[in-house]
Amino acid sequence: MTLLADLILMPLVAFVVGLLLVLMARRVRAKIERRVGPPFLQPVYDIVKLYAKKTQVSHGVMHDLAIMMLLGGFITAEIFLPVPGLDGLAEHGDLITLVYIMMVPMLGLALGVGSCANPNGSIGISRALTAMLAYDVPYVVVIVGACISYGTTNLIDIVQIQQQGGPATWGAATMPILAFAGLLATHGMLGKEPFEIYIAPAEIATGPMTEMSGKYMGALFVMQCFQLYTVGVLYTTMFLGGGENWLFFLPKVFAVIFISVAVTNVYGRYKTDDVIRWMWKWPTGIALVGLALVMVR
Amino acid sequence: MSDTTPVIPDQPEVCRTVDAEERGVWRRVMDRFADHCRARSLFVLHYCTGCGAIELPPTITSRFDMERVGVSPMVTPRQADILLITGYLSVKTLKRVILSYEQMQSPKYVLGFGSCTINGGMYWNSYATVKRLDQYIPADGFIAGCMPRPEAVQQVFLDLMKKIDAGQANAWQDYYLNYDRYLGNQMALFGEEWHTPVDVIAEAEHYGYVGDGTRGRFTEILDRHAAYALRDAPEDYPERGANERLLP
Ligand code: SF4
């Protein structure tokens, strides 16, 4: 019974926190540009508006299924991701499962965009998958390093190890180099500048989203909420000690996303090959050094 | 001028049809809620065709900041709610505007920006520009001025929001209900060969917006062209779907 409640509550909580994260991202961007920024309920208005469109354009069965995969992938990821008070299926899965599941949405998006037959979309999704290849290498190294350091791949155990030992045993303290590399890879994962070449509104008209309208676009907005939440929570769990309760947990998640959002505005865009070069050079290099240190210890 | 050139008919009154379902309380509450959200989240596709476009950067950026009322720029017609026509339209650009407009998803709104979209403005006697935007696609509002200041741009957005919130910004339905008239005007400009990839009549049928003005003499021309193209297409033409083969 509690499991069932967890399964329903975890995606819901993720969605609500995700909405707040989106709001924060937009407000921070506005503040940096010396604007006022959107009102508090703006993310909700956007999503309801998109779902309430009176005409909808579908580009075939694959397009519809892709949206299912997209949201399904993230909802599954949420129930494997332990948060204070809600464990869900975290005991049965581990970090490796989670990394697999987090790739599903991007692949789903690729299938859907393929059926739209829009050249901008195809270019966009090929760039997105290339970018995924770029940031997943350092990310996997970071995750392997963290698993070796904690001696387990179980997320619940990882949180417990950090909480019993206090801040001195947090991942960020015991393996700062890996934590830093993780932050860089996280930034790439969020698709913010300088790694947003696959969105590039002025060049390829938002790439994968070009043909998305109405509820399809709405699903992408929902996905954005889930994405920010998943990435933020995963980083917090691995390196910032999770949280005993939501009061300590949420500020950490927001801080992780805040760092990414705050630095993104000063950058231009890297070309796709530059993204790969940079990602495989710096974050991967730093992560490998961190991994070596962890293994030596 | 040949005698096949379409004549612009008188413009019938715009009226909103109320379907029976709409009177249900639950439905009314949901519609009200949706309208509330629609009015507060507007994605704008800037169709920057004329000089007026230069007033948009200050409207969007830190000086006036449109995002604080929920208006934000979007880059493709599929994602957008508002088509903002900033300035004069040449006959050539009007074609692209119509193509973009038909790709947008309803409810969609069109705003004409500057005198040029209202009566031709300073280009009123040019051979190459369109005089009145709302003869070719239904418009929800106009901003007079040459060029209008950002304050005026904001005002038209606020007015449009009030209209949407009250459920009165329904010009997009007029395109379905009176498609024949709009098509006639478009044909008068582009010639009888004019057609777009979007099947507006089929959309009107699917979503229940067929009115007396949906079909008429000009849509008949479209049908004739379609039948002609179908007759001439080879039997094993790959694009020729099962549906089309059923047609006489
Ligand atoms: S109304 Fe004036 S500013 Fe606007 S497009 Fe026409 S001439 Fe240019």
Query: Mean of the pLDDT values across residues B170-190?
Result: 88
Q: Cβ separation of A35 and B65 shorter than 8 Å?
A: yes
Give B128 Cα–ligand 1 centroid separation in angstroms.
Answer: 15
Neighbour tally for A269: CB within 10 Å: 17
Q: Mark residue A85 as left, alpha or beta (left: phi above 0; alpha: psi -120 to 50; beta: remaining).
A: left
pLDDT of B2 over the 50 cut = no
Best of A29, A55, A58 to substitute, by most chain B Cβ atoms within 10 angstroms, is A55
Q: What is the pLDDT of residues B93-152, one digit of tens each?
A: 888 899 999 988 888 899 888 888 888 888 888 888 888 888 899 988 888 888 888 888
- The residue that leads in pLDDT, A258 or A243, is A258
Atom of ligand 1 nearest to the CA of B51: 8
CA angle B16, B19, B21 (to 5 degrees): 145
Examine the predicted complex and report whether its ipTM is higher than 0.90: no
Residue A21: the pLDDT is: 92
Give A94 Cα–ligand 1 centroid separation in angstroms.
Answer: 62
B24-168 folds as Rossmann fold (3.40.50)
Question: Which percentage of chain B shows pLDDT scores above 70?
Answer: 83
Shortest alpha-carbon distance between residue A51 and chain B (Å): 9
Identify the band that residue B168 occupies on the pLDDT scale cut at 50, 70 and 90: confident
Atom of ligand 1 nearest to the CA of B50: 5
Query: Mean of the pLDDT values across residues A240-253?
Result: 82
Task: Establish if B198 touches chain A: CB-CB under 8 angstroms.
Answer: no
* B37 to chain A: closest CA residue: A45
pLDDT of B156 over the 80 cut = yes
- Computed over every residue of chain B, the mean pLDDT equals 80
What residues does ligand 1 touch, defined as CB less than 6 Å away? B 50-52, 87-88, 114-116, 121-122, 146-147
Best of B21, B41, B83 to substitute, by most chain A Cβ atoms within 10 angstroms, is B41
Residue B160, φ and ψ in degrees, nearest 5: -60, -40
Best of B42, B66, B74, B78 to substitute, by most chain A Cβ atoms within 10 angstroms, is B78
Q: Longest C-alpha distance within chain B, in Å?
A: 61
User: Atom 6 (ligand 1): residue with closest C-alpha?
Assistant: B116
Shortest alpha-carbon distance between residue A40 and chain B (Å): 10
Q: Which tokens hold the place of A185?
A: 């890879």
* A80-94, A137-151, B37-51, B214-228: least confidently modelled range: A80-94
Task: Establish if B14 touches chain A: CB-CB under 8 angstroms.
Answer: no
pLDDT of A32 over the 80 cut = yes
* A33 to chain B: closest CA residue: B62
- Range 97-126 of B in CB contact (< 8 A) with A: 104-107
Residue A19: the pLDDT is: 92
Q: What is the pLDDT of residues B158-167, one digit of tens each?
A: 999 988 888 7
pLDDT of A130 over the 70 cut = yes
Q: Cβ separation of B70 and A39 shorter than 8 Å?
A: yes
- Domains of chain B, residue spans: 24-168, 170-234
Task: Establish if B34 touches chain A: CB-CB under 8 angstroms.
Answer: yes
Give B152 Cα–ligand 1 centroid separation in angstroms.
Answer: 14
* B200 to chain A: closest CA residue: A55
Report the C-alpha gap between A290 and A128 in whole angstroms: 27
Q: What is the pLDDT of residues B46-69, one digit of tens each?
A: 877 778 778 888 888 888 888 888
Q: How many helices (H) and strands (E) does chain A have?
A: 13, 0
Q: Cβ separation of B75 and A44 shorter than 8 Å?
A: no
Task: Establish if B203 touches chain A: CB-CB under 8 angstroms.
Answer: yes
Identify the band that residue B248 occupies on the pLDDT scale cut at 50, 70 and 90: very low
- Computed over every residue of chain A, the mean pLDDT equals 84
Residues of A contacting chain B (CB within 8 angstroms): 26, 30, 33-39, 41-42, 44-46, 48-49, 52-57, 201-202, 205-206, 209-214, 217
Q: What is the pLDDT of residues A86-111, one digit of tens each?
A: 777 777 778 888 888 888 888 888 88
pLDDT of B4 over the 70 cut = no
pLDDT of B8 over the 70 cut = no
Give B196 Cα–ligand 1 centroid separation in angstroms.
Answer: 28
Q: Which amino acid is at B218?
A: F
H-helix segments, chain B: 25-40, 56-60, 91-103, 115-119, 150-165, 171-177, 179-190, 200-207, 217-232, 242-246
* A119-128, A162-171, B71-80, B182-191: least confidently modelled range: A162-171
Q: Which tokens hold the place of A53?
A: 């469109």
- The residue that leads in pLDDT, B229 or B137, is B137
Task: Establish if B70 touches chain A: CB-CB under 8 angstroms.
Answer: yes
What secondary structure letter does DSSP report for B105? P
Residues of B in contact with A199 (CB under 8 A): none
* B72 to chain A: closest CA residue: A38
Give B67 Cα–ligand 1 centroid separation in angstroms.
Answer: 25
Q: Calculate the alpha carbon distances from A18 to A13, A38, A226, B115 in Å.
A: 8, 16, 6, 43
Shortest alpha-carbon distance between residue B2 and chain A (Å): 39
Across the interface, of A34, A44, A206, the residue whose CB is closest to B76 is A206
- Any bridge partners for residue B143, and if so which? B113
Residues of A in contact with B38 (CB under 8 A): 49, 52
Question: Which percentage of chain B shows pLDDT scores above 90?
Answer: 2
Q: What is the pLDDT of residues A40-73, one digit of tens each?
A: 988 999 999 898 888 888 787 888 888 888 888 8
Identify the band that residue A20 occupies on the pLDDT scale cut at 50, 70 and 90: very high
Which residue from A64, A85, A97, A28 is spatially nearest to A212, judged by alpha carbons?
A64
* A9-13, A264-268, B141-145: least confidently modelled range: A264-268
Residue B22: the pLDDT is: 55
Residue B3: the pLDDT is: 45
Residue A237: the pLDDT is: 86
Task: Establish if B17 touches chain A: CB-CB under 8 angstroms.
Answer: no
Query: Mean of the pLDDT values across residues A187-198?
Result: 81
Residue A271: the pLDDT is: 83
Q: Which of B86, B129, B147 best tests ligand 1's pocket when mutated (most atoms within 8 Å of CB)?
A: B147
Identify the band that residue B235 occupies on the pLDDT scale cut at 50, 70 and 90: low
